[in-house]
Structure 1
């Protein structure tokens, strides 16, 4: 007589709301674990669309994002479709170019195309037999207690589905997050920065890149800046970041050229006069928003990730990387708590919120660094000092950018360590400077005995000598 063994438990149903970068990656993660996955996206399938709507700022893929792609076997494929950028290339108003390496030799970030990456991840998600992609589905309502969801299809009909977990990956203006706002003890802040962005294209010259391709080119002008990232088709996507009021001052094609001649003269022949006059007015400058919130979950039925939980401005190149790391953190907690959503979701909030708030603040700070600090001799000097100390003591002193971009050090821990290192290094530099001054005074007093009232005059001379050394 054959005895029936215990029937395996039916895998839970997960609804991923949003088919963007983080949503598509999440679909792969949940499907790989064996969950039944339904992805719901408001837009049409971008793989079939003639024109992909939405943000097109080039993405900088770094270690955190690469690790997330590696776990679903996509890292090498995406790397092959990106362009390594080993350093910032600073363009001065005179046209002089000066590189600032991102890290040690061999460390780089990758310029990748947002739309292509999104398409690749959707295609990968579609290869799992337990994952289903639903496009043109607009979320109308959902219930955090029952997991019941209602969507509206293009023909106006409604579709209802009951799920075990709702994963909100539907962007900075998340429909899922709206229900969080109705609940007590949910903190939320939204900040628009006074600067907008505008994209311009730098075409190839004689079939080749118009500038050196393995750099992130920056034209820092203190109050604003322009950057350029390389694309596989030998173009550069140039993005002008500037206060909205400055964008609005430029109203004619001639004023565009006058503005570029004043601040970005070396870019004019590379972009082209006619293209500048045309493309500057093609679309108005776009806004940038930073979103912080907490909690990231409701009970054991809903969690938000990516921009839905922590939209950040693009200046640290970590928006996508942080969203992808959300998937890794959730995956690690699923392993730790044996896929028990009642334990995983609150722990995810506890672990992830301080890190996402930290990278949101760092992204704001890095805009000032990119458009202004890179022009400072002190900033460049400190970069050299940090890198030299990192070379001497690689485990003791780690530059902030290295921790954020080339490791998975928790963001808030990286910030804490950065502040500590700054205090130690600045104190060390002060001690060295003080020692040099008094040592110089002592030697001068031995060689040229002086009265005490002459000491201040000699100290000033020594400082002048030191100042001359630092300007060499």
Structure 2
């Protein structure tokens, strides 16, 4: 038997985002025929209509396994992040070194993977097919095209990889048909919208090699390779500024309000953006999501959930695309192992890490969406406690350094986040109480 004939088991992948495409490429590398179905008729992959992401060593390893040249292309196009600088008000309160994270956009990463998939002879890509239902008993996939016509795929002879995102139709179908499958889907309660600068913008004190976090309003500032700065603004439900931050018209009033808002809450970054940049902001969409936690991520040996469909997080974790790309590596390893139960083996191996990551993501989500100043104080104080702990030889709270800092690697999430969660449970409630006392004193004064 030749190598080309050794593996013929077909795979169906639902979703052509970074995780779906990475899974397709890794599984096709063993000569499996892979059929990818994508809901969008065309993939509009423009940085200006995307959002910034950081690819850490987990994500980079997935790209290397697909093709080392793919990783080198990303490195050539991305900005290496030297450090994260965290500000409370106008003061920097902490700095987290990195040196391992590659800053890019989701659109750019997807475009690299899509180009590789389109030239892979084992992969077929069908666009304009929106999954509407998974029939578990019949092992059928039902899709709908832009004209409303239904298309049925008999997947009884294939393995199905569902990477259809945080609002996964696959996951919804499983929850409807499998009584024991009860996923927890907790919407963020906040949207993010990105303000982009012109190329090579500059401002005093803003280092393009660093990312900046302005914690009082959850503003995140990053750079791309071409010198474009990205300012991700959070829109919380019920906030006074949500009216203009969510507006779709660049009226003089909205543009002026946006400029005042950035100046007030991210003063160091404000000079990066022109009136034209502010006006363009209102023509861009926002994005949101949910923290997703599933009790299991496979259905027998027929279907497996990957990425946001299985474990949606929130951007401050820094692990959204990276955890999904790592899923692909681990699944490919199990598929190549020769085991008769690769999906079961993958789920057994992965679930403890996804549980820890989900709890961490939920904690960060509460910090982002809760306007309580006491909780915000606790969040900043907890970060400072982590920095002080490092000075005295304790790195329990230094999870960022282990995920995208100088110590980053592929250490399982359970080992990184388990000790952090235990310390969080003991310390964070105390800091919230201190924050409430300080807030009351400030109001009285």
TM (norm. structure 1) is 0.75
Kindly report which structure 2 residues correspond to 1:262-301, keeping only aligned pairs within 5 A, or say none: 262-273=264-275, 275-276=277-278, 278-279=279-280, 281-282=282-283, 286-301=287-302
Equivalent residues of 1:64, 1:321 under 8 A apart? yes
Change (3 A) 1:334 1:118: same
3-state secondary structure, aligned to 1:294: coil
Structure 2 distance, partners of 1:286, 1:424, is: 33
Equivalent residues of 1:313, 1:360 under 8 A apart? no
Structure 2 distance, partners of 1:297, 1:70, is: 26
RMSD: 3.4
Structure 2 distance, partners of 1:39, 1:52, is: 23
3-state secondary structure, aligned to 2:183: strand
- Distance apart, 1:71 and its partner CA: 0.9
Match of 1:173 among 146, 167, 186: 167
Match of 2:26 among 15, 26, 29: 29
3-state secondary structure, aligned to 1:102: strand
Q: Which residue of 1 aligns with 2:437?
A: none
Q: Which residue of 1 aligns with 2:83?
A: 87
3-state secondary structure, aligned to 2:51: coil
Change (3 A) 1:226 1:372: farther
- Distance apart, 1:134 and its partner CA: 1.2
Q: Which residue of 2 aligns with 1:462?
A: none
Equivalent residues of 1:139, 1:151 under 8 A apart? yes
- Distance apart, 1:196 and its partner CA: 2.4
Structure 2 distance, partners of 1:266, 1:306, is: 35
For residues 418-468 of structure 1, the C-alpha deviation after alignment (integer angstroms, 9 at most, x for no partner) is: 35788999xxxxxxxxxxxxxxxxxxxxxxxxxxxxxxxxxxxxxxxxxxx
Structure 1 distance, partners of 2:130, 2:100, is: 39
Q: Which moved more, 1:114-123 or 1:13-22?
A: 114-123
Q: Which residue of 1 aligns with 2:153?
A: 160
Match of 1:15 among 12, 17, 25: 12
Which structure would you say has the larger Rg? 1
Equivalent residues of 1:225, 1:240 under 8 A apart? yes
For residues 369-413 of structure 1, the C-alpha deviation after alignment (integer angstroms, 9 at most, x for no partner) is: 99656754x7435414325526xxxxx978322333312222122
Note if 1:187 corresponds to 2:182.
Answer: yes
Equivalent residues of 2:193, 2:287 under 8 A apart? yes
Structure 2 distance, partners of 1:51, 1:109, is: 21
Equivalent residues of 1:139, 1:175 under 8 A apart? yes
Q: Which residue of 1 aligns with 2:258?
A: 256
Structure 2 distance, partners of 1:264, 1:291, is: 30
Match of 1:116 among 79, 101, 108: 108
Equivalent residues of 2:298, 2:304 under 8 A apart? yes
Note if 1:225 corresponds to 2:225.
Answer: no
Change (3 A) 1:226 1:424: closer
Match of 1:407 among 402, 406, 409: 409
Kindly report which structure 2 residues correspond to 1:296-307, keeping only aligned pairs within 5 A, or say none: 296-307=297-308
Equivalent residues of 1:38, 1:133 under 8 A apart? yes
Note if 1:136 corresponds to 2:128.
Answer: yes
Structure 2 segments unaligned to the other structure (5+ residues): 248-252, 369-374, 428-445
Q: Which residue of 2 aligns with 1:216?
A: 211
- Distance apart, 1:229 and its partner CA: 1.1
- Distance apart, 1:301 and its partner CA: 1.0
Match of 2:419 among 403, 417, 420: 417
3-state secondary structure, aligned to 1:86: strand
- Distance apart, 1:129 and its partner CA: 1.5
Structure 1 distance, partners of 2:45, 2:412, is: 39
